[in-house]
Structure 1
Amino acid sequence: MSRKIQGYTILAAIGLIALSFLFRKIEMMHVADSFMVISAFVAGYRIFIKALKGLRFKIIGIELLVTIAVIGAIIIGEYWEAAAVTFLFMLGSYLEVRTLEKTRSSLEKLMEYHPSQATILENGNHLIIAAEDVKKGDIVIVKPGEKIPVDGVIIKGSATINQSMITGESIPIFKQEKDNVFSGTINESGFMHVEAINVGEDTTLSKIIEMVEDAQESKAKTQKFLEKFAKYYTPLIIILAILLWVVTNDIRIALTLLVISCPGALVISVPISIVAGIGHGARNGVLIKGGEYIEKLAKIDVVAFDKTGTLTKGTPKVINVKPYGVTSKELLMKLASAECASEHPLGKAIVERAKEEGIEMFESPDHFEVVLGKGIIASLGNETLFIGNRLFIKEKFGELSDRFIEELSLEENLGRTVVIAATKTKIMGIISIADEIREDAYTLVKSLKASGIKKVIMITGDNLATAKAVGDKLGLDEVYAEKLPSDKVNVVKSLQKNGHKVAMVGDGINDAPALAIADTSIAMGVAGTDVAMDTADVILMNDKLSQMEYLFKISRFTVKNLKQNIFFSISVVVLLILGVIGNVIFMTSGMLIHELSVLLVILNALRIVVFKDKKNKSKSDFALEKKGVLSNEM
């Protein structure tokens, strides 16, 4: 039944009950009783139908308890009780629907960001078309104040763009040529031409909406348990009511037990909190893919980070080139030719450095092979190149000389990653590459421990000296270096065997095995990255490590909230049952208390909707918020 029909039904029931009291006042008792029965039918019709449908599928639900109680009340002449019970049940149901709509409002807001039209450039003309009709490769013109209708890259112009609906950041970002932009974001100032890369349902915004929809429909383990509990609980209450009737010979007590034992508050206690938590996260650029992951996040006590692109910016640069027996230019040219087929960040850094040195023409490798966690093997003409870390070269050449190891260590102790290049017979040189640590990584350990995390570690395939240098700067608890993908899995498994709940944070691609085995996998700064969106349990849509603290706080707050709801719901049911057996609670008063408990569970869940993590805001954030620059809650 739609909320609108529910509203009309409630108003009709109120009107009929009012008429009943009016006729009772003038002592037209039969007419008054008739209006009470009609009110019970109007408010209870849908309840009765749902109960009958449930019985067809052998489901004994809450509606059946109410139906039996209402029919029984009418049979014994308790018409007011029958009308009051159906009215209160319908009112409670209506409030549940309204509140769930409120908690799902984040999804509605995301839907509002969907652009309806786009202006494309075709043969020099500006054509206005529906946003869903834009094709990949079209040139889209975006003027100030307009929503960007596609995921794409700026090919002309620049603009200040509000990306809050994607990343949760309220402060606009300046973007220029070659920068990526996302559907639904707003061009606050500037003019640009954008080449469409992802359109329609393939855009980042569309995928986010789909994921939030799926997440809000998914069920937490606690919710699944409560649904199983309700499946057995309801028949048990019916049996208990029959036994109570037999023992006391009082049908009123038995019917009252049926009414007040409805586990309505208990049934909604978990889903309403979970939906509110997922919605709050989505509003702040954190996508949690379901209630199951909120519960898992609340138990996490170890956070394991990958290094490249996670603790560091993921844009490494070549710092030093040291050739042996060849020129620097020749070394760079060969390495760039081999690495031009690679997607690894270190390979891209080498290619970029070669271009900076004026080397543009690369020889495509005849053979290219990736050796996971170690390096690559590439064939250029008659020459085979081995390019990788110390372990990889050691496997090919045996023990390395002390002088060479000393040179490697000097670079590694500076926090640099060293790539060694060799042929089948000799070492050609080394390339030192540095990846800048993210600014907000320096407060990472402190902020995570403030949110309840016991241990923060790093698991990386990089060499020990480089990893240790980064770990020492960040104050990490443990550093695991020179780990292959399978080794990373073993580290996570070892932590789990020791009783830890582990969250793995990576890019969703290179760390796939470790992400899969961890209790929870988190991908960060990946707006538009399909693989990360598919593989991670949680996605942080911006590039801020500070969101990690918020993530754990909102998950713990949500789980604490649903536990409060469960405890309160069970306590109310137990007290009501005791009250009925003690003959101090009756049908109408019991139903009123029951519906009030539902309302209190709803109000408690709404605390998640307005949750604000004030400890995670800086003074500058508060100043900006006062000026109206920051609008999103944290």
Structure 2
Amino acid sequence: MSFQQKILSSKNKITLISGILIVIGFIAHFGFGNTQVFNIAFIIASILGVAPIAIQAFGALKVKVISIDVLVTIAVIGAVLIQNYEESAIVTFLFLFGSWLEARTLNSTRSAIKELTEMAPEVAFKQMENGEFEEVDIWDVDEGDILQVRTGGKVPVDGTVIIGEGHINEASITGEADPVRKETDSEVFAGTILENGTIQIRADRVGEDTTFGKIIELVEEAQDSKSAAERFIDKFSQWYTPVVLVGAFLTWVFTQNVELAITILVLGCPGALVIGVPVSNVAGIGNGAKNGILFKGSETFQDLAKVDSILFDKTGTLTVGNPEVAESKTYGDADLALSYLASVEGESDHPLAKAVLSELGDIELYPVDNTDVVKGGGIVAEVNGSRVAVGNVALMEQEKVKLNAKARKDFETYEKRGNSLVITAVDGELKALMGIRDQIRPGIKEDLQAMKNLGVKNLVVLSGDNQGTVDLVAKELGLTNAIGNLLPEDKAAYLKELQAEGEIVAFVGDGVNDSPSLAMADIGVAMGSGTDVAIETSDLVLMNSDMSRLQYAIGLAKTTVNNMRQNIVIAIGVVLVLLSAVFFSEWMNMSIGMLVHEASILVVIVNGMRLLRYNLKGSKDFNEKEASVVTEA
């Protein structure tokens, strides 16, 4: 380690020693009248204190950046040259103390990351070749391994329960403290805690690929990203610091007052401006992470605070995503056609296919050949020598299926009742009609109204479902607009039109087909229960798929942006007041100026950290499940 590195690594010790020397100097001067000890203590404190600051200033100058450290270094050297040892020592001490305070504060605002990391599992009970379970390091677990989780233990990986049952606390993933019952075939997540029972699981995703690992990675990336406000401050400081230097130089030229020029250098340090916005950003991201909301970058705050329109996919977003057959009808002898229908739907993992299979139950199945998935239409396949088409009206027309007036009337009636249609035709003849409905998410109407109350102008549902169904959903939820029969590219095109009109647009979805719109939107919002592709392409993830968290996120974003602005105003205001005081008062000097600077840093830090305690008025608390009465930050 070089001499410079040793000094920089000892900044905290130097700060402590400088503080002790200053105290010794004041005691010697005011307690014993010893001016010599006073001067020696303050000279040593000045030299020690300026060393790490000067090294940092030199490092900045090497990359052609005139930093705040440059201002302080010049000011301290000047104060020593004019034998103002008291002010030079106090200025360096306060500056170093401020740096320590900033670092400590940023570490505390990153508490969400620390808490998440501490919750990460370190060991697992793995089934060995002899059938026994032995404790192994988490990194020794591979996909497909069989693991045992005991009462009170952490689930080590993302997996599927194969034996046993119990209740798991998933607060680390969803923010929801209520235990969730798990049994055979249930999905479990790394970092969650088994509160009772014993289960065996098959490892599906391990290490950094687990949901928990991705959460930590996303939050770390978000906290390291820079917002527009931070980028503005970076640019601002590039010209602000040289302006202060020039101002101090001109002051010396016109007044020939060295001490006044040096004082301007000290008072012009925008310390609170540099720390204020990062503290707000990190605290806001930390608050979201603790509440199951992942902001993938600090830039998301800026856009979400100004969002004009929110576009929603329907299934799995506004609705539960678990549709069921509500009504059905057959045309002629349809027993064999229903077997064909079940055979074809068995080839699909679409929610509507699952609903059909659940309705048909145990029924004879036939081999399926030449399956052709028609985009936005359905499926066409060969079953037992017959051509079977399963899908919507558009597919039936494409297949030239005979549709009489009665059949079309049935379709219209089913759609008006809010059904998605699954029509079955065999060899060009209509055989069966099923109306499938999904349930509206509980409490979603109140959540959407809360978003309007927060300033969102338009709430729109975009869906590949029929227009009648989406109209009913929009009417029930009080949405601004509803558009059905859309392909993924149609959703993206509609979103682009709104952006072209100057609107800030958010898109909420959970499926692979939503990923183009999620990526194109100003703010892509993915439901935590959605696909990996949707989560990867989004800007914001609601880990427990609770739409009330979106209104919370909007409120948090607005409060965080306001907090940033407050800190900027405080920082710039303090600098302006101090510089004015230099020329219009007799009490201002370097020490007082630096003390006020450090006080302003403390003020913006405390103001930013209020975001850690933020809770939206009237929002549902994850842990309490009751209305919050916490005042907004």
Q: How does 1:447-596 map to 2 (within 5 A)?
A: 447-526=450-529, 529-584=531-586, 585-596=588-599
**Superposition RMSD in Å:** 2.6
Give the CA deviation at 1:622.
6.8
Query: Residue 259 of structure 1 aligns to a residue in which SS?
Result: helix
437-446 vs 563-572, greater mean Cα deviation? 437-446
Q: How does 1:75-90 map to 2 (within 5 A)?
A: 75-90=81-96
**What is aligned with 1:422?**
425
Query: Residue 193 of structure 1 aligns to a residue in which SS?
Result: strand
Give the CA deviation at 1:154.
1.1
1:366 is the counterpart of 2:370: yes
* Structure-1 separation of matches of 2:332 and 2:28: 109
CA contact (8 A) 1:13 1:42 kept: yes
1:312 is the counterpart of 2:319: yes
**What is aligned with 1:192?**
199
**What is aligned with 1:390?**
393
CA contact (8 A) 2:342 2:356 kept: yes
1:91 is the counterpart of 2:93: no
Query: Residue 368 of structure 1 aligns to a residue in which SS?
Result: strand
Letter in 1 for 2:61: L
**What is aligned with 1:334?**
340
Name which of 66, 69, 72 aligns with 2:75: 69
* Structure-1 separation of matches of 2:43 and 2:22: 9
Letter in 1 for 2:294: L
Query: Residue 618 of structure 2 aligns to a residue in which SS?
Result: helix
Name which of 205, 227, 238 aligns with 1:231: 238
Residue correspondences, number: 624
Give TM-score, length-normalised by structure 2. 0.93
Q: How does 1:105-504 map to 2 (within 5 A)?
A: 105-122=111-128, 123-328=130-335, 330-354=336-360, 356-359=361-364, 361-371=365-375, 373-380=376-383, 383-397=386-400, 401-422=404-425, 425-504=428-507
Give the CA deviation at 1:317.
2.1
* Structure 2 residues not aligned, in runs of 5+: none
* Structure-2 separation of matches of 1:252 and 1:504: 58
1:29 is the counterpart of 2:32: no
187-196 vs 271-280, greater mean Cα deviation? 187-196
The change in CA–CA distance for 1:625 and 1:271 in structure 2 (over 3 A counts) is closer
**What is aligned with 1:11?**
16
* Structure-1 separation of matches of 2:622 and 2:209: 38
Give the CA deviation at 1:409.
1.4
Letter in 2 for 1:227: D
Query: Residue 294 of structure 1 aligns to a residue in which SS?
Result: helix
Give the CA deviation at 1:379.
4.1
* Structure 1 residues not aligned, in runs of 5+: none
Give the CA deviation at 1:601.
0.3
Give the CA deviation at 1:380.
4.2
Letter in 2 for 1:369: V
Letter in 2 for 1:559: V
CA contact (8 A) 1:508 1:535 kept: no
5-14 vs 205-214, greater mean Cα deviation? 5-14
CA contact (8 A) 2:295 2:540 kept: yes
Query: Residue 196 of structure 1 aligns to a residue in which SS?
Result: strand
1:38 is the counterpart of 2:44: yes
CA contact (8 A) 2:291 2:622 kept: no
CA contact (8 A) 2:615 2:628 kept: no
Give the CA deviation at 1:224.
0.8
The change in CA–CA distance for 1:617 and 1:389 in structure 2 (over 3 A counts) is same
CA contact (8 A) 1:505 1:522 kept: yes
Give the CA deviation at 1:68.
0.6
The change in CA–CA distance for 1:524 and 1:363 in structure 2 (over 3 A counts) is same
The change in CA–CA distance for 1:405 and 1:3 in structure 2 (over 3 A counts) is farther
Give the CA deviation at 1:442.
3.1
Give the CA deviation at 1:157.
1.4
* Structure-1 separation of matches of 2:17 and 2:559: 40
CA-to-aligned-CA distance 1:302-355 (integer Å, 9 cap, x gap):
221111111111112233443335524x3333233333333322233334444x
Letter in 2 for 1:421: T
Tell me the percent identity.
Answer: 40
Give the CA deviation at 1:412.
1.3
**What is aligned with 2:616?**
613
The change in CA–CA distance for 1:230 and 1:301 in structure 2 (over 3 A counts) is same
CA-to-aligned-CA distance 1:594-633 (integer Å, 9 cap, x gap):
111111000100110111224113899477999xxxx9x9
The change in CA–CA distance for 1:232 and 1:377 in structure 2 (over 3 A counts) is farther
CA contact (8 A) 1:508 1:536 kept: no
Give the CA deviation at 1:210.
0.7
* Structure-1 separation of matches of 2:458 and 2:532: 30
* Structure-2 separation of matches of 1:620 and 1:78: 57
Query: Residue 192 of structure 1 aligns to a residue in which SS?
Result: strand
Give the CA deviation at 1:28.
4.2
CA contact (8 A) 2:401 2:425 kept: no
Give the CA deviation at 1:120.
2.1
* Structure-2 separation of matches of 1:168 and 1:3: 40
547-556 vs 451-460, greater mean Cα deviation? 451-460
* Structure-2 separation of matches of 1:111 and 1:102: 14
Give TM-score, length-normalised by structure 1. 0.93
The change in CA–CA distance for 1:623 and 1:213 in structure 2 (over 3 A counts) is closer
Query: Residue 366 of structure 1 aligns to a residue in which SS?
Result: strand
* Structure-2 separation of matches of 1:184 and 1:362: 43
CA contact (8 A) 1:420 1:431 kept: yes
* Structure-1 separation of matches of 2:182 and 2:291: 21
Name which of 589, 600, 603 aligns with 1:600: 603
334-343 vs 438-447, greater mean Cα deviation? 334-343
Query: Residue 76 of structure 2 aligns to a residue in which SS?
Result: helix
* Structure-1 separation of matches of 2:330 and 2:246: 86
Give the CA deviation at 1:111.
0.7
CA contact (8 A) 2:342 2:363 kept: no
